[in-house]
Amino acid sequence: MALPFSGNPLFCPDGLREDEIKLHRLKIREDALFLPCFKFDPATTESGDLFWISWKVVHSVATDPNRAIFLGHAPDGSPRFTIDIGNSLEAWNNFTSNLFQNIRSVAAYLADNRTAIVAQAHSILKWIANHLFCSRCGSNNAVSLGGYRLDCTNPTCGALTFPRIDPVVIIMITSRDNNKCLLGRSHGYPDKIISPLAGFMEPGESIEDAINREIREEVGLSCTDIRFWGNQPWPFPSNLMLGCFATAEQDRLTVNEDELAFADWFTRKQLEEILRNPDGDKIFPQSISISYHMMRAWLGDE
């Protein structure tokens, strides 16, 4: 199934980002469109759709038009870019009354593959903003490859930096009879929300290794029958959620209170009641998250 933030309709031909001349020609094409972002959030129309602007408008609202990032070609062939307009909204407000919306809100409203464009733009712009300096020598980085590489400007260093993706395992643990599922909440997670347990993968781990380590650390269980369910880009800032189902070898939990605020087993009846009652003391995650869809899948709804 296509999850929110996935199914990107834009396509970048191999080698195109390496050709600065071609990229510039794409920018100035009449059909080229740019998604403006402010503090990494996209501009939207009054109806909630993405608000695209032309290259001519980019020059009037963006602090540095040359910082446009190439996203790819749309199905109709038009080139699509994103641009961070800078730290001031003065020029923007003089141009339009359209606002910038939090990407969670945009994803919840759009609920289709346009959310993948939002995720792409948000992640790459935030990556560039967080890597202004070379990690090897501390010199300034220069943006290249249409935004997908940072080049150290120190000629004696010359380090190249590429966008980073952080993989996270998220695990729907079920009992041996499949009548219960294990859900919990980490410290700092929004109150009331319960979800499958999750954790970042570590160097040298397979997906299965990461799952067994994470579940053992958090609730003292061993797992078997690990099976991949689905994956989702999660642009906060640039994770890849790897959703799996697994079976617990035993039911007794030893909750690590340093890791989790709460964890327990839930029957389908309990989970269905939680889904029906959004004002209860436990609630589902947002529908834009893979955790929500994994919980619905276990209930048999997806």
**Residue 104 pLDDT:** 93
The C-alpha atoms of residue 298 and residue 255 are separated, in whole angstroms, by 23
The tokens of 147 are what? 């935004």
**How distant, in Å, are the alpha carbons of 63, 176, 192, 300 from that of 179?**
57, 8, 23, 12
Tens digit of each residue's pLDDT (9 = 90 or more) over 239-282? 999 999 999 999 999 999 999 999 999 999 999 999 999 889 99
**Residue 240 pLDDT:** 98
**Residue 188 pLDDT:** 86
Look up tokens 């070379």; give the residue: 134
B/e letters for 112-130, b = 16+ CB within 10 Å, e = fewer, are eebbbbbbbbbbbbbbbee
Per-residue pLDDT of the chain (302 residues; tens, 9 = 90+): 679 999 999 999 889 999 999 999 999 999 999 999 999 999 999 988 999 999 999 999 999 999 999 999 999 999 999 999 999 999 999 999 999 999 999 999 998 999 999 999 999 999 999 999 999 999 999 999 999 999 999 999 999 999 999 999 999 999 999 999 999 999 988 889 999 999 999 999 999 999 999 999 999 999 999 999 999 999 998 999 999 999 999 999 999 999 999 999 999 999 999 999 988 999 999 999 999 999 999 999 66
**Residue 111 pLDDT:** 81
**Residue 191 pLDDT:** 87
- Is-same-fold flag (16-128; 166-299)? yes
The CATH class, in words, for 166-299 is alpha beta
**Residue 14 pLDDT:** 83
**Residue 278 pLDDT:** 87
Judging by beta carbons within 10 Å of its beta carbon (0-12, 13-18, 19+), is residue 217 exposed, middle or buried? middle
* 3-state SS class at 144: strand
Q: What is the DSSP-derived secondary structure letter of residue 67? A: G
**How distant, in Å, are the alpha carbons of 188, 197, 276 from that of 266?**
22, 13, 15
**Residue 22 pLDDT:** 96
Give pTM, 2 decimals: 0.93
Judging by beta carbons within 10 Å of its beta carbon (0-12, 13-18, 19+), is residue 84 exposed, middle or buried? buried
Q: What is the DSSP-derived secondary structure letter of residue 145? A: G
Domain boundaries, the chain: 16-128, 131-164, 166-299
The C-alpha atoms of residue 128 and residue 147 are separated, in whole angstroms, by 8
Torsion angle of the four alpha carbons 71, 203, 171, 239, in this order, in degrees rounded to the nearest 10 = -20
The matching CATH number, chosen from 1.10.10, 3.55.50, 3.30.1490, 3.90.79, for 16-128 is 3.90.79
What is the rounded end-to-end Cα distance, in angstroms, of the chain?
9
